[in-house]
Structure 1
Amino acid sequence: MHTSSEKISAVIITFNEMGYIQNCIKSVEFADEIIVVDSYSTDGTFEFLQEHPKVKVIQNPFENFTSQKSFALKQAANDWVLFLDADEVVPDALREEIKTTLDNGTDIAAYWFYRKFMFKNDLLRFSGWQTDKNYRLFRKSKAKFSDKKIVHETLDVNGASGIMQEKLIHYCYKDYDDYRAKMLKYGRLKAKEDFYKERTFNYLFMLVKPTWKFFNHYFLRLGILDGRKGMVICHLNALSDLERYRELKKLEKKNELAYYLLMP
């Protein structure tokens, strides 16, 4: 357990994360508390967390990523929060950097983490992810999740930001079906976000955006150098964009139908 005067809450959200959550929890056992909000997993994740002596697990229905993470953040008892996805792992070097940074005192409100992406157990070096970074360590009193996004949620920070030198490890790809389902889910949530913002469906965008996503990540961002792994990742990331526009079209049709049914 972390012994600094600055206590840390590790916070994670889960849904059917067996195979990932065990290593994630193990990597944050240095935190003063571990809070997990589970959206009614059916694969044993909740039962595993219930039995873990260092974890406080709470079940909460999933509406979208922003609302779930905002709910989870409220459960943290400490100001410093280490907020991870269930498929992320804090390696030893990053753990020591976190502890040293807080032990020495800091005026920074939130820290960006760069991530190493893993395709199963192989490192994904390119494919558009090489510059990816996210806020993962921040003061609860200085940050909140933006209500303007419901997927790929962003953190609004009131204060200065810093960057950790060591990288977080992200096990993004378990198998084809799992990653495909994840990308389709992201696409549908992005469509809802677009719909709420009154963005309209466009056939040209449905054609151009996924094509550009694949071309950009596979060729310009060097996914081709990741071999077959890069081809699979770039294809499924582009599929997420395609699903976004398919779903947006469906939402608009449902809305039109409801409008006509309600007309006198």
Structure 2
Amino acid sequence: MTRFSSPISALVICMNEADMIGQCLESIDFCAEIIIVDSGSTDGTVACVESYIAKGYPIRLLHNAWPGFPRQRQFALDHASQPWCLAIEADEAVDGTLRQSIIAVTQPGSDAVDGWYIRRRDKLKGYGYAHRWVLHNRLLRLFRRDKATMDLSLRVHESFEVPGETRTIDSGVLLHRREVTVAEDLARANTYSSLKVATLVEKGKKPGLVRLVLSPLGNFLKFYLAKRYFLCGRHGFVYSMSVMIYSFATEAKLYEASQDNDPA
């Protein structure tokens, strides 16, 4: 399979990713089209992308002021032209095995699957990529362009939705190359939990004492034991605790919002 020949539009949204986006682009050089939507980078990201355009990469560089995650991803999808789309972050890269798997399932004449889940292998600060026996998160990232929709009411944890048949690519992973510090993870948990709660409040979601007590613990056990992050030693424990903290922050903020909105 030659470069830039698979019938795929890669979708990348970015801002200030000059140190990451190059490796991302090199890992998706099998895609016939690469849509990059930049929301105002000031660190050289645009210059880096333009250098790949000069090398012949089939990149469409678009600029769009930040409207939130779902609308920015929808903006990218609206400009895609290939039958398949691959949603990928600037700090991710397709490994060699996944590359071959994606090429295989997107060839003309492939079966009627409309979307594919891909496993993502996170990089833990001080440890490296999570142990190979960890049950990496599955994300719907590869889908037929004309089948995908985006729930624009969400503020965070958005994902393209595909109503047809979906399966999981078993061979290969997305490498999430960013090493997040504890401080960065806690800051993100605070920001994302607020965004999630705003959406939940809009949808009329009510807090629950059981969820407030059990959801954080349940999420910790899910990641540390069920997903086997204990195999990553103390780094896996810290990662699982960060998931627990995010879960607690979400439930506690939802309870707080219900109190603030209580007319009594």
Greater shift in the superposed pair: 231-240 or 177-186: 177-186
- The answer (yes or no) to whether the contact 1:36–1:72 under 8 Å persists in 2 is yes
- The answer (yes or no) to whether the contact 1:126–1:223 under 8 Å persists in 2 is no
Equivalent of residue 232 in structure 1, options 221, 238, 253: 238
Equivalent of residue 88 in structure 1, options 66, 89, 92: 92
Q: Quick one: which amino acid aligns to residue 61 of structure 1? A: A
Alignment of 1:132-171 (within 5 A): 132-147=137-152, 149-171=154-176
Corresponding residue number in structure 1 for 2:206: 200
Alpha-carbon deviation of 1:250? 5.7
Alpha-carbon deviation of 1:184? 2.8
Give CA deviations for 1:192-237 in whole Å, capped at 9, x if unaligned. 1211111234566444322332233224443322112112211211
Once residues 168 and 123 of structure 1 are traced to their aligned partners in structure 2, the CA distance between those partners, rounded to angstroms, is 11
Return the TM-score normalized by structure 2. 0.82
Give CA deviations for 1:30-82 in whole Å, capped at 9, x if unaligned. 21121112232344334433443133222323343222211211111222111
Return the TM-score normalized by structure 1. 0.82
Q: Cα–Cα, structure 1 residues 74 and 182, in superposed 2: closer, same or farther, change >3 Å?
A: same
Equivalent of residue 124 in structure 1, options 127, 130, 138: 130
Alpha-carbon deviation of 1:88? 1.7
- The answer (yes or no) to whether the contact 2:4–2:33 under 8 Å persists in 1 is no
Corresponding residue number in structure 1 for 2:80: 76
Corresponding residue number in structure 2 for 1:25: 25
Q: Quick one: which amino acid aligns to residue 69 of structure 2? A: F
- The answer (yes or no) to whether the contact 1:117–1:125 under 8 Å persists in 2 is no
**SS class of match (1:2):** coil
- The answer (yes or no) to whether the contact 1:2–1:30 under 8 Å persists in 2 is yes
Once residues 70 and 160 of structure 1 are traced to their aligned partners in structure 2, the CA distance between those partners, rounded to angstroms, is 21
Q: Quick one: which amino acid aligns to residue 183 of structure 1? A: A
Once residues 8 and 97 of structure 1 are traced to their aligned partners in structure 2, the CA distance between those partners, rounded to angstroms, is 13
Q: Cα–Cα, structure 1 residues 214 and 158, in superposed 2: closer, same or farther, change >3 Å?
A: closer
- The answer (yes or no) to whether the contact 2:135–2:228 under 8 Å persists in 1 is no
Q: Cα–Cα, structure 1 residues 230 and 202, in superposed 2: closer, same or farther, change >3 Å?
A: same
Q: Cα–Cα, structure 1 residues 90 and 196, in superposed 2: closer, same or farther, change >3 Å?
A: same
Aligned-pair Cα RMSD in Å: 2.9
Gaps of 5+ in 1: none
**SS class of match (1:234):** helix
Greater shift in the superposed pair: 225-234 or 42-51: 42-51
Q: Quick one: which amino acid aligns to residue 38 of structure 1? A: D
Aligned identity (percent) is 26
Q: Cα–Cα, structure 1 residues 181 and 43, in superposed 2: closer, same or farther, change >3 Å?
A: farther
Alpha-carbon deviation of 1:111? 1.5
Once residues 172 and 251 of structure 1 are traced to their aligned partners in structure 2, the CA distance between those partners, rounded to angstroms, is 35
Q: Cα–Cα, structure 1 residues 154 and 240, in superposed 2: closer, same or farther, change >3 Å?
A: same
Q: Cα–Cα, structure 1 residues 165 and 126, in superposed 2: closer, same or farther, change >3 Å?
A: closer
Alignment of 1:248-259 (within 5 A): 248=254, 251-252=257-258
Q: Quick one: which amino acid aligns to residue 2 of structure 1? A: F
Once residues 106 and 222 of structure 2 are traced to their aligned partners in structure 1, the CA distance between those partners, rounded to angstroms, is 38
Q: Cα–Cα, structure 1 residues 45 and 249, in superposed 2: closer, same or farther, change >3 Å?
A: farther
Q: Cα–Cα, structure 1 residues 197 and 214, in superposed 2: closer, same or farther, change >3 Å?
A: same
Alpha-carbon deviation of 1:99? 2.0
Corresponding residue number in structure 2 for 1:3: 5
Corresponding residue number in structure 1 for 2:186: 180
Q: Quick one: which amino acid aligns to residue 69 of structure 1? A: R
Q: Cα–Cα, structure 1 residues 51 and 182, in superposed 2: closer, same or farther, change >3 Å?
A: farther
- The answer (yes or no) to whether the contact 1:108–1:162 under 8 Å persists in 2 is yes
Number of residue pairs the alignment of both structures matches: 255
Q: Cα–Cα, structure 1 residues 132 and 223, in superposed 2: closer, same or farther, change >3 Å?
A: same
**SS class of match (1:103):** coil
